[in-house]
Amino acid sequence: MLVYCYAQKPTDSTADKMLVYQLANGGWPKQLEDKSVINYGATLNDDLLSKIKATTILHATFDNKATSREITYLIKAYNTTKNETYLKAAEKGLDYALSAQNKNGGWPQYYPDKSLYRSQITYNDDAMINILNILQDIITKANGFDVVNQSYIPKAEAAVKNGIDCILKTQVKQNGQLTIWAAQYDKDSMLPAKARNFEPASLSTAESVGIVQFLMRLPNPSPEIKASISSAVKWFEKYKISGYRFDRTENSTGKNAALLEDDKSVVWARFYDLEKNIPIFGDRDNSIKLKLEDLLPERRNGYAWYGNFAQKLLEKEYPKWLTTNGIK
């Protein structure tokens, strides 16, 4: 909602709240010090303001769209209101994002916090790809990012170049053949790594779709990028599961997640074994199951183990990319 004040530029109530939540290093948290999730619909009362103030820069993250969501929104708010405060906050967020990139081109889930799996190269939940898409918008002056200071263009170009290099290096090979990507990688060895107990080192379909979509944005793709895209698409085509959909049904014992027959549906498992290309399922106890039914009920019903992740990519986006780039 826009609010107009006499002799002042219009403001955006959500953007104003984002300014309050922005951390000193320019990033944003996904949750506060007390672990409460960020909610821009909440009223900024004294209790909430106290919690925000207590939240340190160690909570700055790219997880769950944090930081990328705010940068994007603030740019849109600036374009609507011309309120320079929003643009400056967005550029401070860009400074944070650029400073968080590893030398190998990857982005961690959190920065500067390096505890647990937070320093890993993180494709999970599109953390790295969300930032790369913003930087590509700066380069191409797309989606309203033409308002960003021109000094960010060469910075974005360098960061995207390094990010692409990381993407190409981390695409998993099997017997010399490119496949898709894992959700996260060790920041030093650049090998697939586990995160939470139920997120094993594995081929990750949802994140790999986001990676391919980003690569298809790039103008004049190199032979390496073309090979990367076509190899991933080939893998998705080979390992799709036709005639089933993932659903949660109700019975006397509660919810029951399962694959159900549906001749109009196609799905992929969330995770695949790095070598065998078979669906795998991680449980809370750090074990890996080969059947969804073998998971504890909480994990079986509390995670999107299957989805139509690559359907749009195969049916529409990839054919369009081929035509655009004159590839037969």
Q: What residues contact residue 231 under an 8 Å CB cut-off, 6+ apart?
A: 171, 177, 178, 179
25, 104, 133, 196: the catalytic one is: 196
In single-letter form, the type of residue at position 94 comes to: L
**256 flagged as catalytic:** no
Please say whether the beta carbons of 12 and 1 come within 8 A.
yes
64, 79, 104, 301: the catalytic one is: 64
In angstroms, the Cα distances linking 289 to 205, 207, 286 are 18, 21, 10
**64 flagged as catalytic:** yes
- Three-state SS for 50-62 is HHHHCCCHHHEEC
In angstroms, the Cα distances linking 111 to 25, 84, 133, 182, 276 are 10, 26, 19, 20, 34
Q: Which residues carry out catalysis?
A: 64, 196
